[in-house]
A and B are shown apart, each in its own frame.
Chain A
Amino acid sequence: MDRHLLPEEIDQLLDGDVGFGTAPLKTHVRACAACRAELDDARALVRQLEHMPHFQPSALFADRVMAQVQVFVPWHVTALDTLRGFMPRTRTARAFAWGGFGSAALVLTALSLWLLTRLDAVIFAIDMVVGRVRAAVGSSLADMVAALFGSTAVHAFRTSGTVGLWMGLTVLLLLAAVTARAMRAVVTGPRRR
């Protein structure tokens, strides 16, 4: 190389570029005192820049930032955190808890499988329970209607079938609504005056 390094070439060496292009530049720097001085000078500047300190903002900077940040917790994170709240703290307690959950899951699975093999018995049992609940509710309603309107009304409902039952329920609800409104008017009336 029969000339001094160009500023871009000094930059190349300064940035530590590698490759066959930099080899002649390095050779030239070793031989040329002016270019070596130029490069040393540039390196000194870079060193000084790299040692420039960071400045510290005021002590309350982070608090002031956080006061303006809206921390939004997604629902799934809240749900997971709530679940985690129920988890025991110690490893032994956690092992016991997992053991308990596992056992319960096993028992429930076995029970479900057993019930599936006896589906007809399950259906029969459900029918029986539903029938008993229906009979108990019907009896309570009949008692209530008999107490309010007498046994004639109960007989009328029973003979009119489902339509009669619905009509009776509608009248009952209307009466309840009118009564509630009237009571409200009585209670709020004196206050308005």
Chain B
Amino acid sequence: MTVSLQIALPSSYDLSTLPDADVATLAKEGREAAFRELVHRYERPVFSLIFRMVRDRETAEDLAQDTFVRVLNHIDRYRPEFKFSSWLFKIANNLTIDHLRKRQLDTISIEGSPHAATTAEAEATSVDVRSHDESPLEEIESRELGSAIEGAIAQLRPEYRSCILLRHVEGRSYEEIAATLDLPLGTVKTYIHRARHELREALAHLRT
């Protein structure tokens, strides 16, 4: 009913208030604004997930772009009984894992891309983990801690990385992660358990 009302008045309706499934239905009907809304909603989570996997801004943008292009060009295949975001993350993860397998680029410094030829390039590809409402000291500590976590995540195996990022950064349930990554539920739990353990070990020096 909501969707039919919106279709009746496409220009005056606020897409941002609609759930993903309704926006995807409007995209199926060729509404360009609905496509843009889906990109707007998920560009940051998808880009962040991929960036934390590949650690290279340019590559992450290319992979995120491929993800959206694939999903949106096949929007007619989307079934509203499934979560749109799970489908999107599944494509993003598959493309990223394929890329990592091809390039074998699984562990990179938090300070920037290993492909950076100059200091400026390294800076441009580095991860900025600063928060905007911190004092200089807090900022330094936060940056140090944030960098340490980012660095520790970068050291994880790609499959652990996907699981831990989806669980704690994107807030997905174990079941959703299993569906997104095409893994058995038990495997997802094991991966997350091991990832947490490895992260705690890697960050132990910061607690002492």
Residues on A facing B (Cβ under 8 Å): 7-8, 11, 14, 41-42, 45-46, 48-50, 52-58, 61-62, 64-66, 68-74, 77, 80, 84
19 A-B interface contacts by CB (under 8 A):
A41-B200, A42-B196, A45-B200, A45-B203, A48-B149, A49-B149, A49-B199, A50-B169, A52-B146, A52-B168, A55-B44, A55-B47, A57-B60, A57-B61, A62-B36, A65-B69, A66-B39, A68-B69, A71-B32
Is A61 in contact with B64, judged by CB distance below 8 angstroms?
yes
Chain A interface mostly helix, strand, loop or mixed? helix
Q: Check if B115 is an interface residue, CB within 8 A of chain A.
A: no
Q: Which residues of A contact B164 (CB under 8 A)?
A: 49
Q: Check if B177 is an interface residue, CB within 8 A of chain A.
A: no
Total inter-chain residue pairs, C-beta < 8 Å = 99
How many interface residues does B have (CB within 8 Å)?
A: 43
Q: How far is the CB of A66 from chain B (nearest CB, A)?
A: 6
Which of B29, B60, B61, B203 is A74 in contact with, Cβ under 8 Å?
A: B29
Known contacts A52-B146, A62-B43, A66-B32: does B193 contact A11 (CB below 8 Å)? yes
Complex CA distance for A74 and B25, rounded to whole angstroms: 12
Known: A7-B193, A65-B39. 8 other contacts (CB 8 A): A49-B164, A50-B169, A55-B47, A55-B48, A55-B127, A61-B47, A74-B29, A84-B8
Is A48 in contact with B145, judged by CB distance below 8 angstroms?
yes
Known contacts A52-B129, A55-B44: does B65 contact A61 (CB below 8 Å)? yes
Is B200 in contact with A65, judged by CB distance below 8 angstroms?
no
Q: Check if B51 is an interface residue, CB within 8 A of chain A.
A: yes
Complex CA distance for A70 and B72, rounded to whole angstroms: 8
